[in-house]
Structure 1
């Protein structure tokens, strides 16, 4: 069994206090919950495998947690954490994934929840077509497109006031991926519902090629 690498004592205390503010727990209770989170749990809490994050960023979740704890990331807003992760040479999309994963690991947000409230639904899929063809096919779907950068990103508006960010990534001449983030959802149930809905739409799109 690997030894659990904890942050420096003063940094860990800041993480505990951040959790206290979110959950209302006592210092002792918050500290106990954080200590109990073993390294093996990090991938599950983050919602992404250690292998995936290691391949994309060069670091495991344990290494990211240690790095971010050392710069007091638990005390910082989401955007500032993501900016720091990006400064390490991590691609923009993965900077967001690492930031969200860290926030989940440290108990700063639930799965699908944004910092400060509100929920999001995330869904991604890889397609055996060039990114240009994937973008064009997505653009033809019945969506209210508010802004777009060809072959890179798209912003959609929903009738209920929620918004959708769509990111496109080329993975080769005949391979590409799309990442959908449905934002401003009211609760966890709505996030789960929209995640399933987007899964169906992306599967249908794949079958159309």
Structure 2
């Protein structure tokens, strides 16, 4: 058993729930949770271990599903999602404009997108060029001349699409950073 499950250390789960990942997985194996749905596992944890709270019930369920091969990396309940972020040495206004402006965006993003909603210097909701998946983009000021873009691309159909789009976004955000720093 790894010291981490779903990105959470064994020490953290032990400190917050009183049990290690291995202990949680033994409990779930004991109820034959590999034959249960995500919702049923989380509900069982909420019912039988209410003291851990709903967030930990969900986290333990997802970690168990991944450890037992019931859920792929980046998989949500019925689709896939990936995230990416970059911190760039420019103000948040300049970063937001590089995404919001079609002309500036053409310098780093080679996909046709539809911006559904934008809150200046805060967030943007985008429909991706495939018309089916979407991207939630958040902007964070990290000082006068430093900001972060963090995005989640969701509603991806499968693990291969998720892996490909994860690479795509890493490269696209590198292009964005290069564009803004030249």
TM-score higher than 0.5 here? yes
- Aligned partners of 1:145 and 1:157 also within 8 Å: yes
Higher helix share: 1
Correspondences of 1:5-154 after superposition (within 5 Å): 5=14, 7=17, 12=24, 16=28, 20-21=32-33, 23-24=34-35, 70-73=52-55, 75=57, 104-107=62-65, 109-114=71-76, 116-140=77-101, 141-142=105-106, 143-154=113-124
Give the aligned CA root-mean-square deviation in angstroms.
3.5
1:191 aligns with 2:170: no
Matched position secondary structure for 1:174? coil
Change (3 A) 1:131 1:189: same
Change (3 A) 1:107 1:133: same
CA distance in 2, matches of 1:125, 1:103: 29
By relative contact order (CA 8 Å, sep 6+), the higher-ranking structure is 2
For normalisation by structure 1, the TM-score amounts to 0.55
Aligned with 2:141 (options 152, 170, 174): 170
Q: Which runs of 5+ in 2 are unaligned?
A: 1-9, 37-49, 107-112
- Aligned partners of 1:104 and 1:111 also within 8 Å: no
CA distance in 2, matches of 1:184, 1:191: 9
Structure 1 runs (4+) greater than 2 angstroms displaced: 2-9, 72-76, 102-111
Q: Which runs of 5+ in 1 are unaligned?
A: 26-67, 77-98
Deviation at 1:175, TM superposition (A): 0.5
CA distance in 1, matches of 2:137, 2:61: 22
Q: How many residues align?
A: 139
